[in-house]
A and B are shown apart, each in its own frame.
Chain A
Amino acid sequence: MFSKILVANRGEIVVRVLQTLQAMGIATVAVYSDPDANAPHVTMADESYPLDGVTAEESYLDRQKLIGLAKESGAEAIHPGYGFLSENPTFCADCADAGVVFIGPSADTISLLGDKIRSKETAIKAGVPIVPSSPMWAPGENHHEDFLSQWGFPLLVKAAAGGGGRGMRLVEREEDLQPALESASREAAASFGDGRVFLERFFPAARHVEFQVLADHSGNTIHLMERECSVQRRYQKVIEETPSPALDQALRESMGGSAVALAKSAGYANAGTVEFLVDPPTGHYYFLEMNARIQVEHPITEETLRLDMVEMQVRIAAGENLTLSQEDIRPSGHALECRIYAEDPYDNFAPSTGTLLAWQPPQGIGLRLDSGVAQGQEVTPYYDSMLAKLVSWGPDRQACIARMSKALESFPVIGVTTNIPFLMRTIHHPAFTSGDYDTRFVEMYGELTASAAGNNLDAAAIALAERFWQASVPKRLGNQANLPSRPQGPWESLGRASFP
């Protein structure tokens, strides 16, 4: 087993990985960009080193700096988290060259799965159904007529590399195709260093269901059941749950079998996720892609199976074999994850920045918060807008939703606008509570025009705000970065008293 590991990421996933490493008795190294100098992951690690940069390119994407820090600090392995360099085969190969273990699959497997065309060929070989798609497009080229004549519009433009919705566009009319190809290609080049894009058939009413797989270096491969991820906005997941309300036992077994077959066919070792589209009217499913990393939404699988996915990743990377077989995977109850994004649900989910004047997560039975921020911290525009993931578990779906509902209502966040009102409304929406929803959910029901809280609370809010306004004095703005982490005690509050 490793004695020291560097986590090459930021935010909640670093905090999550550090928790496991510390529980396993492994020494930890964190890294940080300039804007993240005060982030929780920096103080939590045993050692932390600056990356001396602001943007992702200057910091968390700098391969040489990261490997250099791993060598200098004596870390034997690097955990890449998700995003950034987690699915970058060059980084994976650089690690191997430097004698540092990359906690994930091999560079060859990452390139195979990261190339959406080759991964589809792998799926076909493994007997897994795929979504129809066009050949690659690069600026100046134009050879997708066959695809257009067979499937037409609407269609998706997708980047050959990466994921998370970047470099992806929904195109409904022919005249929008060329601009979409160019802008998607530019975005993909900026995010992943690979500007190749292609066209894919679009299913308007499909569900997005993924299977978690685990594989060791001896070829033992199992799946850890599914996660339903159909509540998405701009192709980014917002709410995930397991089990999926859309699958019956036969479909679940069939899809799980496909996921394992695909992972085996790709020579996969470590934790990965096979994403499928499910077309509910026909019950058909199609392979989308396999993510060669830990997934943002892994906690719901951990909650229903009571196992630690990061520990599994580390053990597999250290050469241990799986001790679980497929028969051991018996999920219990229901789990739900709500992603808390710094964005305004009343303004088309526009990103929001600022200082977290209040950030007081709820606690209780069946609740878990994976968070990368703390009260008093500044939320900057440089990185992803996800602040935290709130997870609830219940013996059944209804109880699980009820716990989430109470938790969302009891989570004071002030200073940065979040999507919590949208989450609150979504989990009470009949289309969600019935379980009969698809990827159009946000488009159909996502718009919030007036407060989700309702009339009575709106009226109470103004009455309360006016009384407070009369009694209060302005906060000193220059002091925000040094806000106390909890409400002031008498010494601080007395110090601010005003005299008539």
Chain B
Amino acid sequence: MTQLDQNQGQDQQPPPKERLLQQVHPPPRTDDATTPASEAIQNIHLFNQAGDYWEGFCRLNDGNTVPFQAHRVGQQVHLWLGGEMYVFSPLIPASHRRAYQQTSTDEVLCTMPGVVLAVHVAAGDTVEAGQDLLTMESMKTEQVVKSPRDGTVQRVAVQPGDRADRGMRLVLLVPLEAD
């Protein structure tokens, strides 16, 4: 592949000094054997390029050449490389991280895109941890959404037949302090 050794079509930017992105999908590797990112690539050869899109070959430091495609989707990078589909998001600075990542048990969020089949609770109901709140269906698979804790239902944000996407609020529990 002599093309790769020519400068034409190559990305000439130096690699960034600090990490900018974090891996959202698949779950990042936790073992210690990870190759440092700064040493992973020899060069990149692009044969298709737009503002939000790259397609080309990437030569790894181990000598292998692998095709890739990258898409910028909002604040995410979707990257197909070697048969794997990676998703990256901007790395949140350590100072902001805690506030951002704090998750509340007052909200029950949708974890699987789908359609609401049945709602088993109503506002004002007392629920126990693990109690069934809703039944969802996605691609012919049923999933029961359960209460994350004991509490009281403040509001049910969906009704049967509604389509819910990942991250959407399904049920609101009365906040713990006010319970």
Binding site for B on A (CB under 8 A): 55, 164, 166, 183, 187, 190-191, 234, 342-344, 346, 350-353, 357-358, 381-385, 408-415, 417-418, 420-421, 424, 448-453, 455-475, 477, 487-488, 492-493, 496-498
Is B165 interfacial (CB-CB < 8 Å)? yes
A187 to B33, CA, bound (A): 46
User: Chain B: which residue is nearest A472 at the CB level?
Assistant: B72
Which of B1-9, B17-25, B119-127, B151-159 lies at the binding interface? B17-25
A358 to B71, CA, bound (A): 9
| Cβ 8 A contact of A487, one of B48, B113, B141 | B48
Q: Which 10 A-B pairs have the closest CB atoms?
A: A459-B40, A385-B139, A459-B35, A493-B50, A475-B52, A453-B84, A487-B48, A351-B138, A409-B83, A496-B51
| Cβ 8 A contact of B53, one of A456, A461, A488 | A488
User: Chain B: which residue is nearest A450 at the CB level?
Assistant: B29
How many whole Å from B15's CB to the nearest CB in chain A?
6
A342 to B113, CA, bound (A): 12
User: Chain B: which residue is nearest A457 at the CB level?
Assistant: B82
Q: Please, what's the 1-or-0 string for B42-54, where 1 marks a CB less than 8 Å from any CB in chain A? A: 0010001111111
**9 interchain pairs, CB-CB under 8 A:** A166-B140, A343-B139, A350-B138, A353-B113, A358-B80, A381-B138, A414-B80, A463-B37, A475-B73
A469 to B37, CA, bound (A): 15
Which residues of B are found within 8 Å of A415, using beta-carbon distances? 71, 73, 78
Given contacts A383-B140, A460-B40, A462-B88, contact A353 B165 (CB under 8 A): yes
How many whole Å from B170's CB to the nearest CB in chain A?
14
User: Chain B: which residue is nearest A408 at the CB level?
Assistant: B83
How many whole Å from B48's CB to the nearest CB in chain A?
4
Residue pair A465, B79 in contact (C-beta under 8 Å)? yes
Residue pair B73, A467 in contact (C-beta under 8 Å)? no
Q: How many residues of B contact A (CB 8 A)?
A: 74
Which residues of A are found within 8 Å of B27, using beta-carbon distances? 346, 449-450
Is B172 interfacial (CB-CB < 8 Å)? no
A424 to B81, CA, bound (A): 13
A351 to B83, CA, bound (A): 19
Residue pair B84, A421 in contact (C-beta under 8 Å)? yes
| Cβ 8 A contact of A496, one of B15, B50, B112, B142 | B50
Residue pair B20, A466 in contact (C-beta under 8 Å)? yes
Residue pair A448, B26 in contact (C-beta under 8 Å)? yes
Given contacts A413-B80, A459-B40, contact A465 B114 (CB under 8 A): no
How many whole Å from B44's CB to the nearest CB in chain A?
7
Residue pair B72, A475 in contact (C-beta under 8 Å)? yes
A451 to B48, CA, bound (A): 26
How many whole Å from A500's CB to the nearest CB in chain B?
13
User: Chain B: which residue is nearest A386 at the CB level?
Assistant: B139
Residue pair A384, B21 in contact (C-beta under 8 Å)? no
A115 to B39, CA, bound (A): 62
Which residues of B are found within 8 Å of A350, using beta-carbon distances? 111-112, 138
Residue pair A357, B79 in contact (C-beta under 8 Å)? no
Which of B61-69, B92-100, B101-109 lies at the binding interface? B61-69
How many whole Å from B26's CB to the nearest CB in chain A?
4
Residue pair A187, B142 in contact (C-beta under 8 Å)? yes
User: Chain A: which residue is nearest B142 at the CB level?
Assistant: A187
Which residues of B are found within 8 Å of A343, using beta-carbon distances? 139
Which residues of B are found within 8 Å of A477, using beta-carbon distances? 73-74
How many whole Å from A175's CB to the nearest CB in chain B?
15
A466 to B73, CA, bound (A): 14
